[in-house]
């Protein structure tokens, strides 16, 4: 017998009474929200089983179920995978969107048979959807028989179909669009495909392909996947954040961009949303963050990109960028709204202009749990690669580690962030901070950055500006190399060909094992190719790039051995940083935690990878790498007193912590009895 409305009200009130202890964001941020304490409480309650919840909930009961499922704001669907799907409607009958899915309309009738809803609820929601993976029993339970092909297929077989279709596409962008469509229709299949084929798929969902995808994002757009907060929403940001349909555990990782400096492509405005979406796909794939615990955000403060403003298909605001004062005031409102709604949300800043990247990092770093990937993430991953390269170079040349000199082509936020992280390499060798800073030189479009160059330097450049040049100003890179005599050159210029033959040969003349890192993304902006670096150094180069380059087979290699280029991609480090901060509920992401992530990454190379001459571990091991980075950073966060997990992680020894972190990482799979 179905319960009466008063019975259901009693269930709701009794559950809400335990809100302080049970109805809170679940500790396990990587699990399906339906496995939360609240969801279990509903289904274990005598009146709370899905089979009984067919009548209209009162406001209290609806609130409980809404928190437990988090799929709709007013329409509540219970037990979408584990049992029959029943819709329970609150006082409002308006249509409501799912996390990624389309708007689903439900009858206002107080009793709705599950079969009337199954096709809308299950097939159109990307997370519970299993398509041909549903067992025959589950198809009968959900009213899906006849709506799917007769074949029952495992997740692995579905992955094979995806790869077959993907490889039929002619261009990387077409493949990117296809994968985005898959993400929007079957979340678990999307991530299963990535995890089974990382080397092939990662360049398609992020760099280098994401650059072109962002340039054309308004043209390839199909459905919303994140929050779009524009300057038109000033004064109403808190209510907009409330509109995000969250699961019981709430989002725990957000990536936010203003689209002002997307990769090396400049101001793309609202189209930068593709970066936030792509980056969070990497958090899921690389660190096992649950897809429903992610929140992509673009803040649209206008664009100075004339092409966008004149494009009839452009989906952002058609106005020039806001003034600095407007910018700061609006971002303060955004950060306050996000933190008020989700106190444990880790916010990663992505692809802001150099000036704003430093401004907001300094403004918010000690107030909110946030970090800037361009400044800190890039610095961390390059510190790790440089550490390994310097060890090899010093071992073969006999040069002391503290005697390395680094020249950076580029002086933006990423370059300065990298430089500051690299200072820790030298301080660990016993140098003072001032001595460490003197080992690092930066250049911009006007040449070597010096304090007496005659132009007004941007504030972030002053830190590394030279005052020991005796009035000498050098513009061309080859001349600067002659003057500095660096052991390493790092490219963060976004200018293709900056490391030309002359530059590379000069480095090879100065060093037995020259360290050359062309780090600009995407590939078309890389300062040189791996092939060029190998050719002009006769195979002696220690190389890492920001984007992937092909290996050089033994037959074409000057050394007669297979040569593997390093890729200093932030993907190796930011998932571990985010996983750490989310799991220990860090109140801040400290600079020391960023440095610790670099040291953990540097130590992640195994014996086989070292024997192959790699500077970075194989990305096929990304989850193992992210786990180890998270463990090291959690331990440091506990020492620094910035965790807010009630001492949970501090009580674990290293092995127990490693095992716990591993267990918290989400893996895409269908129910075991359904996946043959």
Using pLDDT thresholds of 50, 70 and 90, give the confidence band for residue 245: confident
Q: Is 89 left (phi over 0), alpha (psi -120 to 50) or beta?
A: beta
For the stretch 132-169, pLDDT in tens is 999 999 899 888 999 999 999 999 999 999 999 999 99
In whole angstroms, give the CA distance from residue 382 to residue 376.
10
Query: Known binder of ligand: residue 319?
Result: no
Fold of 376-571: Rossmann fold (3.40.50)
The CA distance from 174 to 249, in Å, is 34
For 221, the token pair is 């757009």
Question: What are the distances in angstroms from CA 610 to CA 237, 312, 381, 549?
Answer: 50, 52, 17, 19
d(CA 60, CA 3): 15
Here the tokens at position 382 are: 């390059």
The domain 211-352 belongs to what CATH superfamily?
Malic enzyme, N-terminal domain (3.40.50.10380)
For 95-149, what is the HEC assignment? Answer: CEECCCCCEECCCCCCCCCHHHHHHHHHHHCCCCCCHHHCCHHHHHHHCCCCCCC
The 10 Å Cβ neighbour count of residue 399 is 16
Average pLDDT over residues 414-439: 95
Class assignment of domain 154-205?
A: mainly alpha
Higher pLDDT, 509 or 69: 509
pLDDT in tens, 346-369: 999 999 999 999 999 999 999 999
Per-residue pLDDT band at 217 (split at 50, 70, 90): very high
- Domain 154-205 matches domain 211-352 at the CATH topology level: no
Interacting residues of 456 by C-beta distance below 8 A, sequence separation 6+:
none
The token pair at 167 is 């490889």
424 vs 595: CA distance, rounded Å: 8
351 marked ligand binding residue = yes
In the DSSP assignment, the letter for residue 321 is P
Query: How many CB atoms are closer than 10 A to CB 43?
Result: 18
pLDDT value at position 142? 87
Q: For the segment 6-46, what is each residue's pLDDT rounded down to a tens digit?
A: 343 344 433 433 333 333 333 445 444 444 444 444 444 44
Q: Provide the β-strand partners of residue 544.
A: 566
Q: Which residue has the tokens 């209209």?
A: 56
Helix (H, G, I), strand (E, B) or coil at 563: strand
pLDDT score of 66 more than 60: no
CB 350 within 8 A of CB 485: no
Are the C-beta atoms of residues 658 and 630 closer than 8 Å to each other?
no
Helix-strand-coil percent breakdown of the chain, rounded to 5? 45, 10, 45
CA distance 561 to 214: 38
Kind of pairing between the strands at 566-567 and 542-545: parallel
Indicate the burial class of 655 (C-beta count within 10 angstroms; 0-12, 13-18, 19 or more): exposed
What are residue 664's phi and psi, to 5 degrees? -85, -5
Residues annotated catalytic, as ranges: 206, 279
Is the torsion defined by CA of 266, 269, 274, 275 positive or negative?
positive
Res 124: pLDDT: 84
Q: What is the mean pLDDT of residues 493-512?
A: 97
pLDDT of residue 247: 58
Confidence band for 414, pLDDT divided at 50, 70 and 90: confident
Instruction: Give the Cα separation of 468 and 676 in Å (integer).
Output: 69
Cα Rg of the chain (Å, integer): 26
> Across the chain, which distance is largest between two alpha carbons, in Å?
91
Please tell me what DSSP assigns to residue 213. H
Sequence ranges of the domains in the chain? 5-142, 154-205, 211-352, 376-571, 573-663
Return the H-helix or E-strand segment holding 548: none
pTM of the model: 0.82
Backbone angles phi, psi at 418, to 5 degrees: -60, -45
569 is in an annotated binding site: yes
By CB atoms closer than 10 A (0-12, 13-18, 19+), residue 135 is middle
124-134 pLDDT, tens digit per residue, is: 889 999 999 99
Q: pLDDT by residue (tens digit) across 530-584? A: 999 999 999 999 999 998 899 999 999 999 999 999 999 899 999 999 999 999 9
Determine if residue 261 is labeled as part of a ligand binding site: yes
């Amino acid at each position: 017998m179905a319960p009466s409305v008063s019975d259901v009200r009693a269930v709701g009130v009794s559950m809400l009474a335990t809100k302080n202890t049970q109805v809170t964001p679940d500790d396990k941020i990587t699990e399906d929200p339906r496995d939360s304490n609240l969801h279990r409480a509903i289904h274990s309650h005598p009146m709370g089983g899905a089979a009984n919840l067919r009548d209209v909930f009162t406001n209290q009961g609806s609130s409980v179920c809404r928190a437990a499922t988090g799929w709709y704001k007013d329409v509540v669907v219970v037990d979408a995978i584990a049992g029959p799907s029943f819709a329970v409607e609150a006082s409002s009958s308006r249509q409501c969107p799912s996390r990624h899915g389309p708007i689903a309309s439900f009858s206002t009738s107080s009793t709705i048979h599950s079969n009337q809803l199954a096709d809308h609820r299950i097939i159109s929601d990307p997370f519970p959807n299993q398509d041909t993976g549903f067992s025959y029993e589950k198809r009968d339970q959900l009213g899906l028989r006849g709506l799917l092909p007769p074949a029952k297929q495992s997740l692995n077989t579905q992955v094979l179909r995806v790869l077959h279709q993907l490889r039929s596409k002619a261009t990387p962008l077409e493949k990117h669009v296809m994968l985005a469509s898959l993400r929007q229709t079957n979340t678990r299949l999307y991530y299963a495909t990535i995890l089974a084929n990382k080397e092939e798929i990662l360049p398609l969902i992020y760099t280098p392909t994401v650059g072109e995808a962002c340039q054309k994002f308004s043209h390839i757009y199909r459905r919303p996947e994140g929050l779009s907060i524009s300057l038109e929403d000033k004064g109403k940001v808190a209510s907009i954040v409330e509109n995000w349909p969250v699961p019981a555990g709430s989002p725990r990782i957000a990536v936010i961009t203003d689209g002002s400096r997307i990769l090396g492509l400049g101001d793309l405005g609202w189209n930068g949303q593709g970066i936030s979406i792509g980056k969070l796909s990497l958090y899921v794939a690389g660190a096992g963050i649950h897809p429903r615990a992610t929140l992509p955000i673009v803040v649209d403060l206008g664009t100075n990109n004339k092409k966008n403003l004149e494009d009839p298909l452009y989906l952002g605001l058609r106005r020039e960028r806001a003034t600095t004062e407007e910018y700061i005031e609006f971002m303060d409102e955004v950060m306050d709204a996000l933190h008020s709604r989700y106190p444990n949300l880790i916010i990663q800043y992505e692809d802001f202009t150099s000036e704003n990247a430093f401004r907001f990092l300094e403004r918010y770093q000690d107030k909110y749990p946030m970090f800037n990937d361009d400044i800190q993430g890039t610095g961390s991953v390059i510190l790790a690669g440089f550490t390994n390269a310097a060890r090899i170079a010093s071992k073969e040349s006999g040069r002391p580690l503290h005697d390395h000199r680094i020249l950076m082509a580029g002086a933006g936020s990423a370059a300065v962030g990298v430089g500051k992280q690299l200072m820790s390499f030298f301080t660990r060798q016993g140098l003072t901070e001032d001595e460490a800073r003197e080992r690092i030189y930066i250049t911009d479009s006007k040449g070597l950055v010096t304090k007496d160059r005659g132009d007004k330097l941007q504030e972030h450049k002053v830190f590394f500006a030279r005052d020991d040049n005796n009035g000498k100003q050098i513009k061309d890179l080859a001349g600067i190399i002659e003057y500095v005599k660096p052991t390493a050159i790092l490219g963060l210029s976004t200018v293709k060909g900056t490391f030309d033959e002359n530059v590379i040969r000069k480095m090879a003349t100065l060093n037995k094992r020259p360290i050359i890192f062309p780090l600009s993304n995407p590939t078309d902006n890389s300062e040189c190719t791996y092939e060029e670096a190998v050719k002009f150094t006769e195979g002696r180069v220690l190389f890492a790039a920001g984007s992937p380059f092909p290996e050089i087979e033994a037959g074409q290699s000057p050394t007669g051995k297979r040569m593997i280029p390093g890729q200093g991609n932030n993907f190796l480090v930011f998932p571990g940083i985010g996983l750490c901060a989310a799991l220990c509920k860090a109140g801040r992401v400290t600079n020391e935690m960023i440095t610790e992530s670099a040291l953990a990454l540097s130590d992640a190379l195994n014996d086989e990878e070292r024997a192959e001459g790699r500077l970075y571990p194989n990305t096929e091991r990304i989850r193992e790498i992210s786990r180890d980075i998270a463990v090291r950073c959690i331990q440091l966060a506990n020492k620094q007193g910035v965790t807010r997990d009630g001492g949970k992680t501090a009580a674990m020894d290293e092995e127990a912590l490693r095992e716990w972190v591993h267990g918290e990482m989400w893996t895409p799979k269908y129910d075991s009895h359904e996946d043959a």
